[in-house]
Structure 1
Amino acid sequence: MDDRTRAVQARVYGKVQGVGYRLWARSEATGLGLVGWVRNERDGSVTAWLAGADAAVAAIIERLRHGPPGASVSRLDVEELETWTTPGDFRIIA
């Protein structure tokens, strides 16, 4: 069993606001057992902070590349985080 943990910050660009992207991302992340948050940015992108098992983080990164129905992802930037504190759940930040 692999118990490595990983944290990333992902920035998603394209048609990702007004299509339920944050709700979808929270559902996908919690389904994978991840913690963190997701929020809309002023420039029309969405930022997500995600932490958990390495395999689960890898899986959510791939899902973020496609998004929910109605979304159109043009770019995904992922930054590995060296140090982090677990928030304990997954939140949508307004």
Structure 2
Amino acid sequence: MIFMKHLSIHVYGLVQGVGFRYSVVQVAADSEVTGTVENEMDGSVKIEAEGDEMKLYSFLQKIRQSPSPFAKVKTVDYDFSDNLKNYQKFTVIG
């Protein structure tokens, strides 16, 4: 059975200007999740993702391990919810 969830993630560390967002897009494609990724003014990166709950857990684990070889992930805050936004694909904002 598939349980669709929404996952909000904030990634802190050296995650801007190092190709992190584009690495996240590749991880999302590999994980079969949809959503968005964007830089925040405080230097963090915000990710909104949706998909099967088990695939989202896999996606989150890959984000924690830093998909970009140049990024340095320090902290990852996340929250699962049932409030789906029904994204059609995964895109970079900004």
Query: TM-score higher than 0.5 here?
Result: yes
SS in 1 for 2:48: strand
Cα-to-partner distance string for 1:15-74 (whole Å, 9 max, x where unaligned): 001110100001110111100000000110000000001111001111111211011111
Residue 80 (structure 1) shift: 1.5
CA distance in 2, matches of 1:23, 1:77: 19
SS in 2 for 1:22: helix
Cα-to-partner distance string for 1:65-93 (whole Å, 9 max, x where unaligned): 12110111110000112312212111100
Mind listing any 5+ residue stretches in structure 2 that lack a counterpart?
A: none
Tell me the residue number matched to 1:87: 87
SS in 1 for 2:24: helix
Tell me the residue number matched to 1:58: 57
Mind listing any 5+ residue stretches in structure 1 that lack a counterpart?
A: none
Paired letter, 1:76: V
Is the 1:36–1:48 contact (alpha carbons within 8 Å) kept by the matching residues of 2? Answer: yes
Equivalenced residue count is 93
CA distance in 2, matches of 1:52, 1:77: 18
Tell me the residue number matched to 2:38: 39
SS in 1 for 2:22: helix
Tell me the residue number matched to 1:10: 9
Tell me the residue number matched to 1:26: 25
Paired letter, 1:9: S
Q: Percent identity?
A: 28
SS in 2 for 1:26: helix
TM-score (norm 2): 0.93
CA distance in 2, matches of 1:17, 1:35: 21
